[in-house]
Amino acid sequence: MGLTTAVLTAMAGMKTYVVDPNPARLGSVRSGKSFFYEEGLDALVTEAVKTDMLIATADYKQAVPESDIVISSVGTPDNPDGSSNLSYIFAAATEAAKYLKPTAVYVQKSTVPVGTGTKVKQIFTDAGIGNAYVSNPEFLREGTALADSLWFDRIVVGGDDAQALESVMDMYRLIEQSRKTIAKLAGLTTPANHQAGTYKTVKLESAELIKVTSNAFLTLKISFANSIAILSDKVGADILEVMDGVGADNRIGRAFLNAGRGYGGGCFPKDVSGLIAAGLENGVNLQIMQASQTLNEEMPGYIIEKLQKVLGGALRGKTVAVLGLAFKAGTSDARRSSGVKMANMLARAGATVKAFDPRANEEALEYLTKQVVIVKDMETALQDADAVIVAVDWPEFTQYPLRKYAKKLPQGVLVDAMNQFDIAAVNGAGLRYIGVGRS
């Protein structure tokens, strides 16, 4: 989110500094490359650095005094109890407070629990400054971060300083005015059915709640679909048919009613646990979110149990290919990846596990147990495996010829952890199909 936002402001004609303590990240940006995979981003980084509109530095003193708008986009990992770890938020604000010019606006884009802004403003007061503070939650999805920024649904800013709010809105208006030029360089096209985005000014506390509430509601839709998928497995229904029928209701909509291995990544799980913790801190028990969280944690195990039954009740001595280690297609991020969870479960159960992801092999290493073998391509992963789990809907996996899957899998078991395959086509290729809610 930080680099994506910085590149867009730079490409819209605003001189932009990116501040980070990691030398490897800074070196990557200075060389004109992103330090993570995101479609179209490298071309923009290259251009912004070449024109000296994007400057990477580890020094607050170099960047903050020169800036009219200072955006905080640091990480907010969760604590063991599920609450948000705000140490990076407060550290960034404390350091920036040393160098902010009096008219600068401090913008919080990181996802934080409600009430965080009040604490940051107190840091400024303690430092003897009165800079305006604005909450500006981001609504980007990894894998489509640029497109989501350029063709946004809404820009939300919250605070009590009207002039500061307008300054932040103006920043986004400049990006919107440059949208065509930026999109062309990035190789992106206008999404189908795109409608003009809206600009919303709200209270500070409302802005802080909007982001986490949006993400939490989307996880509810996923978990609801998964709960009905488990029922569908019991009664012989097809979850795709069920959710197509449910989603046809305009009051509900089809988006995110997708059953499968559950949600992951750096946002959804963290935001749900953070919202639960914020509720408890304020005397509110968000039981519905707790149920969503519990069901999501159970889905990888549910899929492994289905596979285990098909393989004769035991996984020890079996060889399983796991295709997909990123938490979703379009990104190299493997945090809380369901594919990683399933690979680790299989290894702990005694199976030989060969895993592959076209983008996330390297990033997944730190999350995988040492018994899981990461291989260089999907053909190596599939060779002589008793079963394959397609855990991410990368085109390389979903468009791979079914006859080739069948040729490489002696027992012919294909686990469709995201319900992406046509059952009749899989069976017609001589494979045994295992889906989620498609018994």
Active site residues: 267
**What is the pairing mode between strands 154-158 and 198-202?**
parallel
H-assigned helices in 59-103:
60-63, 87-96
User: What residues contact 101, with CB distance under 8 A and at least 6 apart?
Assistant: 65, 67, 68
DSSP of 379-438: HHHHTT-SEEEE-S--HHHHTS-HHHHHHH-TT-EEEETT--S-HHHHHHTTPEEE-SSB
> Which long-range CB contacts under 8 A does 427-431 form with residues at least 24 apart?
428/402, 429/402, 429/403, 429/405, 430/406, 431/402, 431/405, 431/406
366: how many CB neighbours lie within 10 A of its CB? 9
Is 9:171 a contact under the CB 8 Å cutoff? yes
C-alpha–C-alpha distance, residues 394 and 103, integer Å: 47
In one-letter notation, the amino acid at residue 431 is L
Contacts of 120 (CB under 8 A, 6+ apart): 89, 90, 93, 106, 108, 133
Q: What are the helix and strand counts (H, E) for the chain? A: 19, 13
Do 27 and 165 form a contact (C-beta atoms < 8 A)?
no
Closest by CA to 64, choosing from 22, 108, 99, 21, is: 99
Is 271 within 8 Å of 212 (Cβ atoms)?
A: yes
**Residue 418 near residue 392, CB atoms below 8 Å:** yes
User: What is the C-alpha to C-alpha distance for residues 53 and 7, in angstroms, rounded to an integer?
Assistant: 9
- Which 3 state secondary structure label does DSSP give 109? coil
407's tokens: 């040729």
CB atoms within 10 A of CB 249: 9
Q: Are 180 and 79 in contact (CB under 8 A)?
A: no
Q: Is 353 helix (H, G, I), strand (E, B) or coil?
A: strand
Which distant-in-sequence residues (6+ apart) come within 8 Å of 114 by Cβ? 205, 208, 209, 278
Q: Are 300 and 344 in contact (CB under 8 A)?
A: no
